[in-house]
């Protein structure tokens, strides 16, 4: 897998130098780009005019999201608008999101509004990573979107994950049959999903200060079109916990 470690190092060092523990959405996009993790077309607007120009260039509909290193839960802050279909709605949406963010946290550092291509349809999954105090870096996989909160159907493997590990994760959740195609639906692109899992696991292995990653939802597009990460959240910490000897079999983990 080709990766740009220098680009990621530069971003993480900047975040740490500013005393932050999380990456903004644009920073997360750059990290994803560096490790071959596909994301939708997007850009950051700092004015109504910029937002309108970006949306028109990438095509409607679009999603608008607040960009702020101090607002981690954008939806709670009224900082997300989905399915924005016209130039006029983008202009109104930019103002609404900025106003909502200011009301939510008057002291927040507002960097602008992310304008993102909206992808419709497709099965949604979640791919993430956590740092376990006993086992170290773990990569996670499960059904995404709102289902991850409802079903909590997640499986884990130690990082870095092998190709065999990644493919086994697709069969390691209770809802594995959904990925194989049910009621006439097409089976998902297993190879693209496995590659994404491997890329994420390699990223957190190369940069252990990334303590958490949450790619949700990851949209599985039509056969041949691969997978795209719609939203990426990443957290870092300065001190890495002590690592215990590696174990391939984790107690209580679905395999």
Per-residue pLDDT, 241 = 47
- Write down the domain spans for the chain: 5-117, 123-236
Question: CA 231, CA 78: separation in Å to the nearest integer?
Answer: 16
CATH architecture of 123-236: 2-Layer Sandwich (3.30)
Q: Each residue of 168-219: pLDDT tens digit?
A: 999 999 888 888 876 666 788 999 999 999 999 999 999 999 999 999 999 9
Question: What is this structure's pTM?
Answer: 0.85
Confidence of residue 1 (pLDDT cuts 50, 70, 90): confident
Structure tokens at 101: 């963010």
Question: CA 59, CA 38: separation in Å to the nearest integer?
Answer: 18
- pLDDT average, residue stretch 133-151: 79
Structure tokens at 226: 């691969």
Tell me the angle at which helices 25-34 and 5-17 cross, rounded to the nearest 10 degrees: 160
Residue 155, phi then psi, degrees to nearest 5: -125, 150
Closest-CA residue to 91 (of 60, 68, 118): 60
Question: In CATH, which of 3.30.1490.20, 1.10.40.30, 3.40.1280.10, 1.25.40.20 is domain 5-117?
Answer: 3.30.1490.20
- Enumerate residues 6+ apart whose C-beta is below 8 A from 206: 3, 5, 8
């Amino acid at each position: 897998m080709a990766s740009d470690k220098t680009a990621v190092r530069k971003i993480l060092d900047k975040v740490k130098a500013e005393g932050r523990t999380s990456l903004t959405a644009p920073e997360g996009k750059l990290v994803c780009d560096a490790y071959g993790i596909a994301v939708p077309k997007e850009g950051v607007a700092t004015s109504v005019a910029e937002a309108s120009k970006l949306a028109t260039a990438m095509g409607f509909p679009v999603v608008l999201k607040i960009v702020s290193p101090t607002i981690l839960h954008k939806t709670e802050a009224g900082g997300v608008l989905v399915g924005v279909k016209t130039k006029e709605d983008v202009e109104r949406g930019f103002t609404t999101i900025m106003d909502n963010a200011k009301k939510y946290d008057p002291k927040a550092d507002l960097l602008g509004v992310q304008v993102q291509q909206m992808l419709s349809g497709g099965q949604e999954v979640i791919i993430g990573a956590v740092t376990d105090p006993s086992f170290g870096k773990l990569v996670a996989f499960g059904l995404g979107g709102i289902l991850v909160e409802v079903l909590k159907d997640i499986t884990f493997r130690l990082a870095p994950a092998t190709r065999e590990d990644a493919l086994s994760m697709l069969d390691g959740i209770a809802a594995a049959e959904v990925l194989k195609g049910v009621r006439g639906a097409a089976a998902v692109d297993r190879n693209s999903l496995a590659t994404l899992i491997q890329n994420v696991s390699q990223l957190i292995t190369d940069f252990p200060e990334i303590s958490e990653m949450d790619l949700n939802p990851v949209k599985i597009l039509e056969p041949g079109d691969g997978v795209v990460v719609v939203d990426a959240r990443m957290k870092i910490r300065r001190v890495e916990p002590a690592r215990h000897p590696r174990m391939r079999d984790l107690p209580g983990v679905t395999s």
